[in-house]
Amino acid sequence: MIDALRLIAWILASSFKSRARLGAEILILRHQLIILRRKAPPRPRLSILDRLIFVSLYRVRPSFVSAVTLVRPETVVRWH
């Protein structure tokens, strides 16, 4: 429940940030996800609340799906 409230607070706060700052924040968060994926088990388990948040975001704006697409580190290495 606390995570859901944090997400709502983050969404409200992000509307007041500049585009450059949001872009930098997204890059940092994606890098953190890559690091966590290296340490985490192969498939993360989502709680029911996580699923409800994703479904509600998708219903509000279907383009959110492209924002959650993650790239594997091996793919980035192949691109370079």
Chain mean pLDDT for the chain = 76
Record the pTM: 0.34
pLDDT of residue 75: 67
User: 12-47 burial string, b = 16+ CB within 10 Å, else e?
Assistant: eeeeeeeeeeeeeeeeeeeeeeeeeeeeeeeeeeee
pLDDT of residue 9: 84
pLDDT of residue 69: 59
pLDDT of residue 80: 56
pLDDT in tens, 25-51: 788 888 888 877 777 667 667 788 888
Distance CA 49, CA 41 (A): 20
